[in-house]
């Protein structure tokens, strides 16, 4: 589905709605070009999950972890990694299998490497502050929640929401 955020505040509101549908063990891929607002989305999701520590960019440290209300939130950035072996070395799957919630920032996503996940793709809009946000679910894990997420984000929709990718 395609959403529209007129400002960083709206981007965070959308992130908060998505966060309210997250379950322990979920993985969310935050896709988009540099400067589009991937960290902004991560900050919005983390805040909604009850993280009180400042959420800073994990680009150089690769993975940050935060204590949320019900789960540990892992925030990773694959920007510096060169190949799938290096991604495997981060053991992100283990974090989700242990009941954490994993947020992965990545400009260009390969579904086969990440497994079941929710993808939020953010891109620069016409105006400086505006962003286009496209959300899709990969895998069965989101089947039951997807319609509810679609209706919960309806007020942000830029075109008619579709029940795609399921």
Reported for 92-96, long-range contacts at CB under 8 A and 24+ positions apart, including other chains, are 92/27, 92/63, 95/65, 96/25, 96/26, 96/27
Binding mask 113-152 for another protein (x = CB under 8 A): -----------x---x------------------------
Decide: is 47 part of the binding site for another protein (CB under 8 A). Answer: no
What is the three-class DSSP state of 164?
A: coil
**Sole binder of another protein in the list 53, 143, 162, 164 (CB under 8 A):** 53
List phi, psi (to 5°) of 101. -110, 125
Dist. CA 120–CA 18, nearest whole Å: 9
**Sole binder of another protein in the list 4, 16, 21, 81 (CB under 8 A):** 81
Decide: is 98 part of the binding site for another protein (CB under 8 A). Answer: no
Least Cβ distance, residue 52 to another protein (angstroms): 9
CB 92 within 8 A of CB 64: no
CB 71 within 8 A of CB 99: yes
Least Cβ distance, residue 57 to another protein (angstroms): 4
Number of residues that bind another protein (CB under 8 A): 27
- Nearer of residues 35 and 108 to another protein, judged by Cβ: 35
CB 123 within 8 A of CB 35: no
Which residues of this protein are in contact with another protein, per CB under 8 A? 34-35, 37, 39-40, 43, 53-54, 56-57, 59-65, 80-82, 85-86, 89-91, 124, 128
């Amino acid at each position: 589905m395609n959403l529209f955020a007129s400002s960083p505040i709206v981007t965070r509101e959308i992130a908060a709605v998505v966060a309210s549908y997250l379950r322990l063990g979920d993985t969310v891929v935050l896709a988009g070009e540099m400067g589009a607002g991937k960290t902004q989305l991560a900050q919005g999701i983390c805040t909604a999950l009850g993280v009180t520590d400042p959420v800073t960019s994990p680009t150089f440290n690769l993975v940050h972890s935060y204590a949320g209300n019900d789960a540990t939130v892992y925030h990773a950035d694959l920007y510096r990694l060169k190949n799938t072996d290096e991604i495997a070395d981060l053991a992100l799957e283990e974090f989700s299998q242990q009941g954490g919630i994993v947020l992965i920032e990545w400009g260009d996503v390969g579904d086969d490497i990440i497994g079941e996940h929710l993808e939020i793709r953010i891109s620069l809009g016409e105006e400086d502050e505006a962003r286009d946000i496209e959300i899709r679910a990969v895998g069965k894990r989101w089947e039951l929640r997807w319609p509810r997420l679609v209706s919960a984000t309806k007020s942000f929709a830029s075109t008619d929401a579709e029940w795609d990718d399921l």
